[in-house]
Amino acid sequence: MHRRFPSVAVTAVDPDARLLDRLRAKSGPNAEWLQVVTGTVDTVDVGVAVDVVFSQLVLSLTTDPAHELRALRVLMRPRGLLRAAVVGGPERMRAFAGFWAAAEAVVPGAAPPVAYPHLRFADPEMLRRVAVEAGWADVRVEPADTRRTVTSAELWDWLSLTLPLYTADRRAIPLQDLGSTLVEELRLSVLSEFQQYRDARGWYDVPTGGWLLTGTAG
Ligand SMILES: C[S@@+](CC[C@H](N)C(=O)[O-])C[C@H]1O[C@@H](n2cnc3c(N)ncnc32)[C@H](O)[C@@H]1O
């Protein structure tokens, strides 16, 4: 984004600081155009009206996507654009559901509190309606069949960094708090679950796609 539009200022928001540390490391020490905020749309203060918001594989994992969409809408300048990649539908969600099934086998209760909340978006019309009710205009939901091809080390790194785990009493739990033995068990369980995506070279070709939700701030 910044390479194509050098004058752009980017604010990256995620409640998980590990993801943002990685982004900072990738962007280099002199990326003045980048502000990273550990938090959510409720806590971020961008300071100006936002032109474009990109949300990638987040709405399907939050407990209240309607709230997130309303709160994003408030941040926008008139006619500002929304582009959100949303995981949706049982088939497309198979890979992520597999992660939690593997996690549950090692850490009971590890799946998100609402059982697979993304399944709410199996119906694209439902996703469209949630966005319209949140105040977005020109809302469209199109299928987006994306995949990610990774090595086994990258697979574990990616999944363990981006998918939340929970305890039996429904608190989100950082991976490192599980202790190294459980983490190793979890890693093996996940790799075993993901064997189905392994190709002849030993790479994993994982379906991540779902919907591309677009809209404008009316
Ligand atoms: C599947 S990961 C996607 C991460 C990243 N956007 C990407 O595409 O690689 C889901 C992310 O959603 C973040 N998340 C969960 N709840 C959130 C919320 N309410 N607001 C913003 N991010 C949230 C998690 O911390 C996690 O990093």
Stretch 114-138: mean pLDDT: 80
Mean pLDDT score of the chain, rounded to an integer? Answer: 86
Examine the pLDDT at 160 and tell me if it is beyond 80.
yes
**Closest CA to ligand 1's atom 18:** 40
Structure tokens at 188: 């093996």
Q: Measured in angstroms, how far is the CA atom of residue 16 from the centroid of ligand 1?
A: 8
Q: Rounded distance, CA 66 to CA 41, Å?
A: 12
Lowest mean pLDDT of 27-41, 64-78, 157-171, name the range. 157-171
Lowest mean pLDDT of 20-29, 35-44, 111-120, 122-131, name the range. 111-120
- Does residue 58's CB lie within 6 angstroms of at least one atom of ligand 1? yes
DSSP codes joined into one string, 121-181: GGSHHHHHHHHHHTT-EEEEEEEE--EEEE-HHHHHHHHHHHS--B-TTS-B--GGGG-HH
Q: Measured in angstroms, how far is the CA atom of residue 10 from the centroid of ligand 1?
A: 16
Give 144's pLDDT tier (boundaries 50, 70, 90): confident
Closest to 47 (Cα-Cα) out of 73, 10, 22: 10
Q: Measured in angstroms, how far is the CA atom of residue 58 from the centroid of ligand 1?
A: 4
CB count in 10 Å sphere of residue 100: 22
**Closest CA to ligand 1's atom 7:** 56
Stretch 205-214: mean pLDDT: 87
User: Could you report the per-residue pLDDT of 96-121, keeping only the tens digit for each?
Assistant: 778 888 888 888 888 776 645 555 67
What is the pLDDT, as a whole number, of residue 205?
92
Enumerate long-range contacts of 204-207, CB under 8 Å, 24 or more apart: 204/149, 204/150, 204/151, 204/152, 204/155, 205/147, 205/148, 205/149, 206/95, 206/147, 206/148, 206/149, 206/150, 206/155, 207/92, 207/94, 207/95, 207/145, 207/146, 207/147
What is the pLDDT, as a whole number, of residue 129?
93
* Residue from 36, 59, 63, 162 whose mutation best tests the ligand 1 pocket (most atoms within 8 A of CB): 162
* Residue from 1, 26, 58 whose mutation best tests the ligand 1 pocket (most atoms within 8 A of CB): 58
Examine the pLDDT at 13 and tell me if it is beyond 60.
yes
Q: Measured in angstroms, how far is the CA atom of residue 61 from the centroid of ligand 1?
A: 7
What is the pLDDT, as a whole number, of residue 74?
96
Examine the pLDDT at 163 and tell me if it is beyond 90.
no
CATH architecture of the domain formed by 49-217: 3-Layer(aba) Sandwich (3.40)
140 vs 90 pLDDT, higher one: 140
- Does residue 131's CB lie within 6 angstroms of at least one atom of ligand 1? no
Among left, alpha and beta (phi > 0; psi -120 to 50; other), residue 78 is beta
Q: Measured in angstroms, how far is the CA atom of residue 140 from the centroid of ligand 1?
A: 22
User: Could you report the per-residue pLDDT of 166-206, keeping only the tens digit for each?
Assistant: 877 777 788 888 889 999 999 999 999 999 999 999 999 98
User: Could you report the per-residue pLDDT of 54-109, keeping only the tens digit for each?
Assistant: 998 888 777 788 999 999 999 999 999 999 988 776 555 677 778 888 888 888 88
- Does residue 56's CB lie within 6 angstroms of at least one atom of ligand 1? yes
What is the pLDDT, as a whole number, of residue 107?
86
Q: Taking the model in full, what pTM does it have? A: 0.83
- Does residue 50's CB lie within 6 angstroms of at least one atom of ligand 1? no
What is the pLDDT, as a whole number, of residue 1?
67
- Does residue 122's CB lie within 6 angstroms of at least one atom of ligand 1? no
CB count in 10 Å sphere of residue 203: 15
- Does residue 61's CB lie within 6 angstroms of at least one atom of ligand 1? yes
Give 137's pLDDT tier (boundaries 50, 70, 90): very high
